[in-house]
């Protein structure tokens, strides 16, 4: 494979930056949302659940359009951010990271929430009767037990962010060096005369990256499972 051109490697590094930021946004918010959905009952839970899943089933251009309305320079949030902090989201890489985060969020929440639900809540009760505050119980019991699910969610979220296309295109456009991530660059090359070999290279690179991320996630979460003492008999452990 020929070495990457400047334009191609620019797209690659931009993608990495955007995906890392998107994952960093999704991790804390995703953990909190998953915990709420797995452990709490409250009014509007069904609605929150549906909202979280929504980006998976909507045409990606719709969240992109909504983000533009909210975070555009004239949008309520975008205007406020620019007026008070001088931060511009629309048509910048920050916007690309935000769009990726919104689209990848369900992939973070799903496995983490499942992991939280698998943990016997009475283990947290035991921890509090041994002097741990609920927060300490969460950090010392719930989080480590959910680690394999958290790793899976993080890797899925990262991979999905690398591949984000529709929402990014609608929200921040296709600006070389700013918002033209790998998928957008591929799209561009596909439509450029003589762009086919570059599109091929980037497509191959995307597949290799996605595959590597999924395999790494699998290996790391398996290792975490073993370290936590989850054996094959984990599922047969008495739950009640």
Tell me the closest approach of the beta carbon of residue 227 to another protein, in angstroms.
Answer: 8
Sole window of 92-100, 130-138, 198-206, 214-222 interacting with another protein (rule: CB under 8 A): 130-138
Our finding on whether 141 is near another protein (CB under 8 A) is yes
Task: For residue 218, give every residue at least 6 positions away whose Cβ sits within 8 Å of its Cβ, in sequence order, or none.
Answer: none
Tell me the closest approach of the beta carbon of residue 146 to another protein, in angstroms.
Answer: 10
Q: Which is nearer to another protein, 5 or 140 (CB)?
A: 140
CB 22 within 8 A of CB 94: no
Our finding on whether 127 is near another protein (CB under 8 A) is yes
- Alpha-carbon distance of 32 to 109, in angstroms, equals 9
Our finding on whether 133 is near another protein (CB under 8 A) is yes
Our finding on whether 115 is near another protein (CB under 8 A) is no
Our finding on whether 202 is near another protein (CB under 8 A) is no
- Reported for 180-184, long-range contacts at CB under 8 A and 24+ positions apart, including other chains, are 180/10, 180/11, 180/14, 181/11, 181/14, 181/15, 181/18, 181/96, 182/11, 182/12, 182/15, 182/206, 184/11
Interface ranges with another protein (CB under 8 A): 120, 122-123, 125-134, 140-141, 144-145, 228-231, 233, 237-238
């Amino acid at each position: 494979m020929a070495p990457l051109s400047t334009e191609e490697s620019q797209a690659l590094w931009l993608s990495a930056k955007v995906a890392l930021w998107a994952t960093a946004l999704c991790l804390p918010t995703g953990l909190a949302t998953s915990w709420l959905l797995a452990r709490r009952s409250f009014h509007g839970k069904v609605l929150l659940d549906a909202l979280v899943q929504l980006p998976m089933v909507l045409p990606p251009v719709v969240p992109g359009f909504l983000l533009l309305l909210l975070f555009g320079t004239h949008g309520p949030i975008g205007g406020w951010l620019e007026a008070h902090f001088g931060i511009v989201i629309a048509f910048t890489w920050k916007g690309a990271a935000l769009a990726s985060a919104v689209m990848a969020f369900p992939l973070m929440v799903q496995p983490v929430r499942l992991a939280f639900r698998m943990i016997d809540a009475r283990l947290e009760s035991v921890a509090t009767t041994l002097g741990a505050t609920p927060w300490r119980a969460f950090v010392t019991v719930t989080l480590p037990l959910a680690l394999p699910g958290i790793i899976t969610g993080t890797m899925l979220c990262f991979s999905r962010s690398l591949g984000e296309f529709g929402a990014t295109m609608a929200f921040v456009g296709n600006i070389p060096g700013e918002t033209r991530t790998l998928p957008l660059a591929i799209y561009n090359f596909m439509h450029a005369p003589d762009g086919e070999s570059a599109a091929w290279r980037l497509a191959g690179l995307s597949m290799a990256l996605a595959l590597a991320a999924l395999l790494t996630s699998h290996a790391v979460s398996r290792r975490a499972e073993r370290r936590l003492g989850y054996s094959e008999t984990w599922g047969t452990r008495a739950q009640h």
